[in-house]
Amino acid sequence: MKNLAVLIPAYNEEMTIAKVVKDVQGAIADIDGAAVYVYDNNSADKTAALAKEAGAIVRHEYAQGKGAVIRRMFREIDARAYIMLDADDTYPVEAIPEMYAKVMDRQADMVVGDRLSSTYFEQNKRPFHNVGNSMVRAMINHLFKTDIRDILTGYRAFSYRFVKTFPVLSRGFEIETEMSIHATEKNLLVDTVVVNYRDRPDGSVSKLNTFGDGLKVVKTVINLYRGYHPFAFYGSFSLLALLAATILFVLRVGIPYAQTHLVDNMPSLVVAMILFVGALIAFFSGSILNAIQTNDKRSFELALIRAADRQKDLENAE
């Protein structure tokens, strides 16, 4: 079992991968039991060969997508602490010892490398990314009542119990959003290290699609909110349907009936009843799913205990 595993997912990063590996090796030189892993995700260039030549342990994930790579990394590697960073040379490796210490000494489950509080908005040359990062951060912090300052950063540190209990559901770049929401919803300890971001070097091309990946992130946030807060999600639809049913019934049925004692607008009455039934269905659906979610939280706490026991067994086996 390693003390520290540095995980680098890589896809067509031959321009920067060797420098990133060597820089990381320099940053972890004083940490006993540390290793650098590069997971190549079907690169069409020399990424894997250059990473191996630079001294990294190279492995492969053939299912395309960053989420698939992270699933493979988290399942295969056992370590007391993990650092994950991108292979594009945009993150300062000098922050690794501090992030590692927060996991080992302060028992943080996830440490976020916060770019947005430092140089991101000056260094990043894609203005829509700046807007997107700010919007996603505001939406998640509002919906999930948290205060994570950089939701989409690819520079993070993790504890063993986070890695071994995190269910990887996303396949693409929305995985960072999933990690952030999972940590806050499961009451895991999240810490922050402010890091200086630098944009990609000239000639290095980002794999992100501003609008396509942005829509995937928003969809992920909505789906996770529905999953973690089903009563609030379905309750909002129930309330809207109930208000619409009440207004329609009063204006189109109730008031005319009080004047004529006749139901002159039968279609309006039918629609109002349908909306009322829909409100009841949404309310009870949210209530049932909320009970299931509560039970899921209990199960997760037991999973944390099992992960801690397995970590002790691995340490005792050394």
| CA 165 from centroid of its chain's CA atoms | 14
Rounded Cα–Cα distance for residues 71 and 50 (Å): 23
Q: Which of 223, 222, 76 is nearest to 139 (CA)?
A: 222
pLDDT, mean of residues 219-227:
93
Last residue of a domain, one of 176, 200, 227: 227
For residue 250, give the DSSP letter.
I
Are residues 263 and 207 part of one domain? no
pLDDT, mean of residues 48-53:
97
Confidence bin at 304 (pLDDT 50/70/90): very high
Q: Are 194 and 125 in contact (CB under 8 A)?
A: no
More confident residue, 216 or 157: 157
Confidence bin at 58 (pLDDT 50/70/90): very high
Domain that includes residue 174, residue range = 2-227
Are residues 67 and 194 part of one domain? yes
More confident residue, 255 or 23: 23
pLDDT, mean of residues 248-263:
89
Q: Are 109 and 32 in contact (CB under 8 A)?
A: no
CATH label of the domain that carries residue 92: 3.90.550.10
Are residues 287 and 194 part of one domain? no
Whether residue 209 is predicted with pLDDT greater than 70 in this model: the reply is: no
Are residues 150 and 18 part of one domain? yes
Are residues 296 and 163 part of one domain? no
Whether residue 44 is predicted with pLDDT greater than 70 in this model: the reply is: yes
pLDDT at 120: 77
More confident residue, 206 or 230: 230
Whether residue 295 is predicted with pLDDT greater than 90 in this model: the reply is: yes
Rounded Cα–Cα distance for residues 45 and 56 (Å): 17
How many domains does the chain contain in total?
2
Are residues 197 and 107 part of one domain? yes
Are residues 127 and 39 part of one domain? yes
Are residues 131 and 263 part of one domain? no
Are residues 210 and 237 part of one domain? no
More confident residue, 184 or 126: 184
